[in-house]
């Protein structure tokens, strides 16, 4: 007799299912263990893309077939950020521990919106650890979100409600006496402007302050902009500093920003998407001085923290202001003193999400398994590799460094007439070669090959392979 309902979606034959599951696990362990033997990336053949244009299936397919399709049609054509040769954009590499932890989380299928359950306590443990890491008070709150784009948006919403009072949640921002304005560096991530847009305040209310030769926000220009806006009858409310810019890895002078925010009574938010977890590295932490004075910090465990996607996080100094921006009393989410509906406040009180996955578990496993020392060493190592790459570039007359190397990002190019075009072609050649995957950006108007070294697997040999390939491709392209 079957030990489950006829209509259940569970397997009929658990023994066969178990064997098949173990094969799937083994395949993924093989993938990670032997990742170096693969190209970093390869183009998707048209026939494979077309196979994903089939009609909605009405009947089922057996798991073994689906697994084979995954192995042949999906796995080989991913972005490649698990690979040590991946240096594009700012992507973390993940770990085998995070991978199996994610499987445990999937098995539990926990909904972390709230309620009296241990998974929520795991998330609270991470909140306490992050308070400790950033020297925030016990009254600080934190919540997992998809990524820093979402966390930055939420910080604008918390600061807006803190500035205007909770009444704005009903009245909206349509009839404000004076318009709210915010400030960030010209090199800030695009999601800061998007956060202003999505919050209803409008991206035009974001002042993009110029940067200096170290790519840090010009603090005098910031003060002048605030003064000019006050003069014009506007209401300055928010500064978004950056700890690790996407283009070159610059960290704003966070203490100077904290002084200005304090003197001007503005909310200081730090976009520390990848840089903030540099707090775990002896080498990077001193550069983040002042981050402990912020009102809120957004960051991603899925970048330098090497946790599997996605694992963004928002930390807010004043937990009550955080909650006042989002909490909403509704009957079906009533809190009780005991039973499963106890344990208020819940994570859903700190953001727009009600149903939420167990992102905290893969993060808890990663931090527990390695400790902050080891994770910090891998962060330092990526910075050492970036300096090594910069040294090699300086030694080679065909190459040119385009920005100072402050952390783990190196912007450079092959010297040539029509350099923008040639370097863009070199990067596409590199992608298609499967040897290394940097990305491009524009630094002071010039197209740069941008190597963002984030993956803990990347070593000196991968930097050498990148250099060697850039030189060969540059030579071939630049005639």
Q: Are 363 and 311 in contact (CB under 8 A)?
A: yes
Q: If you search the block for the tokens 């240096």, which residue do you land on?
A: 87
Nearer to ligand PLP, 147 or 376 (CB): 147
Nearer to ligand PLP, 248 or 473 (CB): 248
CB of 36 to ligand PLP, least distance (A): 25
Bridge partners for 37 per DSSP: none
Nearer to ligand PLP, 278 or 474 (CB): 278
Question: CA–CA separation, 291 vs 296, rounded Å?
Answer: 9
Q: What is the footprint of ligand PLP within residues 112-151 (CB under 6 A)?
A: 147-149
Nearer to ligand PLP, 403 or 426 (CB): 403
Nearer to ligand PLP, 148 or 455 (CB): 148
CB of 338 to ligand PLP, least distance (A): 38
User: Three-state SS for 236?
Assistant: strand
Instruction: Verify cis geometry, omega within 30 degrees of 0, for the bond prior to 310.
Output: yes
Please report whether residue 366 would count as binding ligand PLP according to CB under 6 A. no
Q: Which stretch binds ligand PLP (CB under 6 A): 2-10, 238-246, 356-364, 391-399?
A: 238-246
CB of 355 to ligand PLP, least distance (A): 19
What H or E segment, with its residue span, contains residue 410?
A: strand 409-414
By CB under 6 A, how many residues form the interface with ligand PLP? 15
Nearer to ligand PLP, 299 or 326 (CB): 299
335-344 own/partner pairs: CB under 8 Å, 24+ apart: 339/116, 340/115, 340/116, 340/117, 341/115, 341/116, 342/115, 342/116, 343/114, 343/115, 343/116, 343/117, 343/120, 344/114
Q: Are 17 and 11 in contact (CB under 8 A)?
A: yes
Among 83, 115, 189, 293, binds ligand PLP (CB under 6 A): 189
Q: What is the DSSP string of 427-461?
A: HHHHHHHTS-EEEEEEETTEEEEEEE---TT--HH
CB of 212 to ligand PLP, least distance (A): 18
CB of 304 to ligand PLP, least distance (A): 10
User: Three-state SS for 104?
Assistant: helix
Nearer to ligand PLP, 148 or 433 (CB): 148
CB of 281 to ligand PLP, least distance (A): 16
CB of 155 to ligand PLP, least distance (A): 12
CB of 458 to ligand PLP, least distance (A): 17
Q: Residue 148: what are its φ and ψ, rounded to 5°?
A: -65, -25
Question: CA–CA separation, 343 vs 457, rounded Å?
Answer: 40
Nearer to ligand PLP, 275 or 474 (CB): 275
Q: Residue 239: what are its φ and ψ, rounded to 5°?
A: -120, 130
Please report whether residue 191 would count as binding ligand PLP according to CB under 6 A. yes
Q: What is the footprint of ligand PLP within residues 270-329 (CB under 6 A)?
A: 271, 273-274, 300, 312
User: Three-state SS for 404?
Assistant: coil
CB of 471 to ligand PLP, least distance (A): 28
Q: Which stretch binds ligand PLP (CB under 6 A): 38-46, 237-245, 326-334, 358-366?
A: 237-245
Nearer to ligand PLP, 123 or 229 (CB): 123
Nearer to ligand PLP, 115 or 456 (CB): 456
Would you call 30 exposed, middle or buried from its count of C-beta atoms within 10 A (0-12, 13-18, 19+)? exposed
CB of 273 to ligand PLP, least distance (A): 3
Q: Which stretch binds ligand PLP (CB under 6 A): 133-141, 247-255, 268-276, 390-398?
A: 268-276
Bridge partners for 399 per DSSP: 414
User: Three-state SS for 300?
Assistant: strand
Which residues does 186 contact at the CB level (< 8 Å), separation at least 6? 208, 209, 210, 211, 217
Q: Two tokens at 361?
A: 């578990």
Q: Are 343 and 115 in contact (CB under 8 A)?
A: yes
Q: Which residue is nearest to ligand PLP (CB)?
A: 147
CB of 227 to ligand PLP, least distance (A): 27
CB of 468 to ligand PLP, least distance (A): 28
Would you call 125 exposed, middle or buried from its count of C-beta atoms within 10 A (0-12, 13-18, 19+)? middle
Q: Which stretch binds ligand PLP (CB under 6 A): 162-170, 210-218, 223-231, 267-275?
A: 267-275
x/- letters, 452..471, toward ligand PLP (CB under 6 A)? --------------------
Question: CA–CA separation, 361 vs 230, rounded Å?
Answer: 46
Among 246, 288, 399, 426, binds ligand PLP (CB under 6 A): 246
x/- letters, 79..98, toward ligand PLP (CB under 6 A)? -----------x--------
Binding residues for ligand PLP, rule: CB under 6 A, are: 90, 147-149, 189, 191, 242, 244-246, 271, 273-274, 300, 312
């Amino acid at each position: 007799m079957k030990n489950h309902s006829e209509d259940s979606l569970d397997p009929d034959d658990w023994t066969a299912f178990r064997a098949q599951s173990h094969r799937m696990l083994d395949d993924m362990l093989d993938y990670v263990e032997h990742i170096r033997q693969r190209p970093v990336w390869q183009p998707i053949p048209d026939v494979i893309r077309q196979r994903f244009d089939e009609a909605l299936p009405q009947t089922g397919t057996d798991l073994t077939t689906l697994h084979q399709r995954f192995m042949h049609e999906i796995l080989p054509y991913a972005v490649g950020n698990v690979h040590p040769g991946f240096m594009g954009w700012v992507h973390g590499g993940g770990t085998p521990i995070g991978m199996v932890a994610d499987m445990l989380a999937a098995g539990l299928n926990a909904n972390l919106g709230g309620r009296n359950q241990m998974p929520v306590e795991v998330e609270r443990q991470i909140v306490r650890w992050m308070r400790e890491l950033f020297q925030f008070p016990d009254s600080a709150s934190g919540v997992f979100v998809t990524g820093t784009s979402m966390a930055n948006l939420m910080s604008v919403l918390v600061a807006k409600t803190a500035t205007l009072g909770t009444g704005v949640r009903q009245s909206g921002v349509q009839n404000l006496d004076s318009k709210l304005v915010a400030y960030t560096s010209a090199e800030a991530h695009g999601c800061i402007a998007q956060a202003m847009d999505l919050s209803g305040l409008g991206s035009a209310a974001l002042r993009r302050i110029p940067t200096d030769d170290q790519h840090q926000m010009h603090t005098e220009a910031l003060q002048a902009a605030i003064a000019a806006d006050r003069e014009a009858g506007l209401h300055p409310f928010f500064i978004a500093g950056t700890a690790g810019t996407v283009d070159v890895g610059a960290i704003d002078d966070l203490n100077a920003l904290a002084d200005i925010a304090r003197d001007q009574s503005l909310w200081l938010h730090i976009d520390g998407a990848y840089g903030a977890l540099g707090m775990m590295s002896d080498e990077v932490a001193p550069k983040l001085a002042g981050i402990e004075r912020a009102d809120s910090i957004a960051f991603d465990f899925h970048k330098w923290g090497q946790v599997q996607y996605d694992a963004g996080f928002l930390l807010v100094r004043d937990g009550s202001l955080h909650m006042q921006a989002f909490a909403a009393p509704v009957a079906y989410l009533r809190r009780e003193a005991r039973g499963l509906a106890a344990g208020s406040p819940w994570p859903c009180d700190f953001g727009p999400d009600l149903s939420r996955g167990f992102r905290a578990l893969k993060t808890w496993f990663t931090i527990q398994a390695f400790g902050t020392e080891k994770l910090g060493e891998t962060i330092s190592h990526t910075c050492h590799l970036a300096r090594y790459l910069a040294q090699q570039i300086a030694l080679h007359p065909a190459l040119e460094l385009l920005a100072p190397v402050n952390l783990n990002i190196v912007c450079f190019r092959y010297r040539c007439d029509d350099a923008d075009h040639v370097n863009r072609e070199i990067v596409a050649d590199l992608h298609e070669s499967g040897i290394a995957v940097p990305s491009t950006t524009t630094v002071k108007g010039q197209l740069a090959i941008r190597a963002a070294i984030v993956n803990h697997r990347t070593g000196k040999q991968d930097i050498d392979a990148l250099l060697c390939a850039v030189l060969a491709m540059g030579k071939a392209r630049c005639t």
